[in-house]
């Protein structure tokens, strides 16, 4: 790209000089200068064309490599990227793509070397390079170094969601939950529709036994991603929030115990944590120990969102109250709650799937509300 700019600059310079040439030369001198400058202009055109051709060829090879990479043919992808790098060894695009592919096949040192080329140029594809390098270091067991790389990236580019998300994963891995929460929340603020950040934040809250906050995160994830490979695991985790603190006595079929985490006594969400456990206890008494019944799930979720909305009106603020609660409270005030509760479970529950198939108008109306709220 730098060569391209140099060639173009020279061409503009040569053209401007011949157009502004003075008339105090004799004819022969003028003719010689004219021919010489015409030659330089021609050279400029040739250089410019070569750069354009080379760049086009690099882009074409990288594009072909990405297609091979996407279908898992990593060796073929690497060969194509290497061909591109023979044309332009400093191509930020080719270096960033080959770095990712090397990461996929666990060639972490090679991946980092290509990331460093991109980072040292300080031009394009820098976020991708920082994320890839950080991921490689983490996979090599160098999580603290990975954190340093990602934090350096955040210093340069601000809270880009991919940098924050991967930083959160690193902190989560070393069980620094406070910093993981901050990182995931920053990722969500940067890109609210990044489903992975909601899922990861929900996992942290589940580990901390903060049921209400976990329930909010996982609901939002399933709204964004109701029908993927991750959806089933997330839905199962959400269901476990109902039953985690509930223990049914063997000899007393109609008695259950609910354990309250003493660390959460001052939490704004303690009441809502208990509400979730009570729902699980009620379901357990009915013989449902793994999943809340469809009707009960819809009724509980409606009650839960409405109660949070009322509590928000008392002046509660902060990430949870300002991001999740307003959205779900707006939702519960519409006629779409049944559609919502079924739509987030379409790949996980046959009854929900059938309901959606038979109520396409309701789904369209719900989607219209989402897009226009």
Q: Are 88 and 55 in contact (CB under 8 A)?
A: yes
The structure tokens 């070397």 sit at 113
Q: Report the pLDDT value the prediction gives residue 330, as an integer from 0 to 100.
A: 97
- Those residues with Cβ within 8 angstroms of residue 306's Cβ, 6 or more apart along the chain or in another chain: 329, 332
| Pick from 109, 94, 165: nearest CA to 139 | 109
Strand partners, 248: 256
pLDDT: which is higher, 168 or 373: 168
Strand boundaries in 200-264, DSSP class E: 246-248, 256-258
Q: 299 is written with which tokens?
A: 């009724």
Residue 90 to residue 272: CA distance in whole angstroms: 55
- Give the model's confidence band at 52: pLDDT under 50 very low, under 70 low, under 90 confident, else very high: very low
Least confident of 43-57, 154-168, 281-295, 335-349: 43-57
Q: Where are the domains of the chain?
A: 1-89, 211-373
pLDDT at 38 > cutoff 70: no
Phi, psi of 167 (to 5 degrees): -65, -40
Task: State the DSSP code for 282.
Answer: H
Residue 110 to residue 117: CA distance in whole angstroms: 11
Q: Are 238 and 299 in contact (CB under 8 A)?
A: no
Helices (H), strands (E): how many in the chain?
19, 2
User: pLDDT, tens digit, for every residue of 214-249?
Assistant: 999 999 999 999 999 899 999 989 888 876 544 445
Q: Report the pLDDT value the prediction gives residue 274, as an integer from 0 to 100.
A: 79
pLDDT at 131 > cutoff 60: yes
Chain centre distance of CA 60 = 27
The structure tokens 């200068």 sit at 33
pLDDT at 314 > cutoff 60: yes
Residue 63 to residue 58: CA distance in whole angstroms: 9
CB-based burial label for 73 (10 Å; 0-12, 13-18, 19+) = middle
pLDDT at 338 > cutoff 80: yes
Region 11-32: what's the mean pLDDT? 36
- Give the model's confidence band at 82: pLDDT under 50 very low, under 70 low, under 90 confident, else very high: very high
Q: Report the pLDDT value the prediction gives residue 64, as an integer from 0 to 100.
A: 94
Region 149-164: what's the mean pLDDT? 96
Region 174-202: what's the mean pLDDT? 98
Cβ count near 162 (within 10 Å): 21
pLDDT at 22 > cutoff 50: no
Q: Report the pLDDT value the prediction gives residue 233, as an integer from 0 to 100.
A: 92
Q: Report the pLDDT value the prediction gives residue 261, as an integer from 0 to 100.
A: 60
Q: Are 126 and 157 in contact (CB under 8 A)?
A: yes
Mean pLDDT, the chain, integer:
81
Query: Looking at beta carbons, which pairs linking 110-118 to residues 24 or more positions away fall under 8 Å?
Result: 111/136, 112/136, 112/137, 117/90, 117/92, 118/92
Task: State the DSSP code for 316.
Answer: -
Strand partners, 246: 258
Q: Are 195 and 224 in contact (CB under 8 A)?
A: yes
User: pLDDT, tens digit, for every residue of 251-294?
Assistant: 555 544 445 565 555 578 988 887 887 765 554 445 444 455 67
Q: Report the pLDDT value the prediction gives residue 169, as an integer from 0 to 100.
A: 98
- Give the model's confidence band at 172: pLDDT under 50 very low, under 70 low, under 90 confident, else very high: very high
Residue 23: C-alpha distances to residues 1, 31, 209 (Å)? 37, 11, 86
Q: Are 138 and 157 in contact (CB under 8 A)?
A: no
Residue 22 to residue 211: CA distance in whole angstroms: 82
Q: Are 55 and 63 in contact (CB under 8 A)?
A: no
Q: Report the pLDDT value the prediction gives residue 21, as an integer from 0 to 100.
A: 40
Half-sphere exposure of 191 toward its Cβ, with a 13 Å CA cutoff?
A: 15
pTM summary value: 0.79
């Amino acid at each position: 790209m730098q060569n391209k700019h140099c060639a173009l600059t020279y061409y503009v310079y040569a053209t401007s000089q011949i157009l502004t040439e003075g008339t105090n030369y004799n004819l022969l001198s003028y003719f010689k200068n004219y021919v010489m400058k015409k030659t330089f202009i021609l050279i400029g055109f040739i250089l410019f064309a070569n750069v354009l051709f080379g760049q086009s060829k690099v882009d074409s090879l990288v594009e072909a490599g990405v297609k091979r990479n996407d279908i898992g043919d990593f060796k073929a992808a690497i060969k194509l990227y290497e061909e591109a790098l023979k044309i332009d060894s400093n191509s930020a695009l080719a270096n960033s793509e080959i770095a990712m592919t090397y990461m996929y096949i666990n060639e972490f040192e090679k991946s980092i070397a290509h990331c460093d080329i991109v980072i040292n140029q300080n031009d394009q594809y820098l976020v991708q390079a920082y994320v890839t390098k950080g991921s490689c270091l983490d996979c090599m067991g160098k999580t603290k170094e990975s954190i340093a790389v990602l934090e350096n990236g955040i210093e340069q580019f601000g809270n880009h969601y991919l940098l924050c998300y991967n930083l959160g994963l690193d902190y989560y891995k070393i069980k620094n939950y406070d910093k993981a929460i901050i990182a995931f929340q920053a990722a969500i603020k940067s890109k609210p529709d990044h489903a992975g950040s909601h899922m990861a934040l929900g996992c942290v809250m589940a580990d901390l036994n903060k049921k209400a906050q976990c329930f909010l995160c996982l609901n939002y994830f399933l709204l964004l991603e109701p029908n993927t490979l991750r959806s089933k695991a997330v839905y199962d985790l959400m269901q476990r929030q109902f039953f985690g603190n509930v223990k049914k006595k063997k000899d007393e079929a109609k008695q259950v115990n609910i354990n309250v985490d003493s660390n959460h006594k001052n939490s704004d969400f303690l009441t809502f944590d208990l509400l979730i456990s009570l729902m699980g206890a009620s379901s357990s008494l009915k013989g449902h120990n793994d999943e809340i019944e469809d009707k009960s799930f819809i009724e509980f979720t409606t009650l839960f969102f409405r109660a949070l909305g009322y509590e928000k009106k008392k002046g509660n603020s902060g990430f949870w109250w300002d991001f999740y609660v307003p959205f779900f409270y707006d939702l519960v005030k519409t006629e779409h709650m049944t559609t919502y509760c079924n739509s987030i479970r379409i790949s996980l529950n046959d009854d929900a799937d059938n309901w959606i198939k038979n109520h396409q108008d309701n789904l369209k109306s719900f989607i219209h509300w989402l897009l226009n709220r």
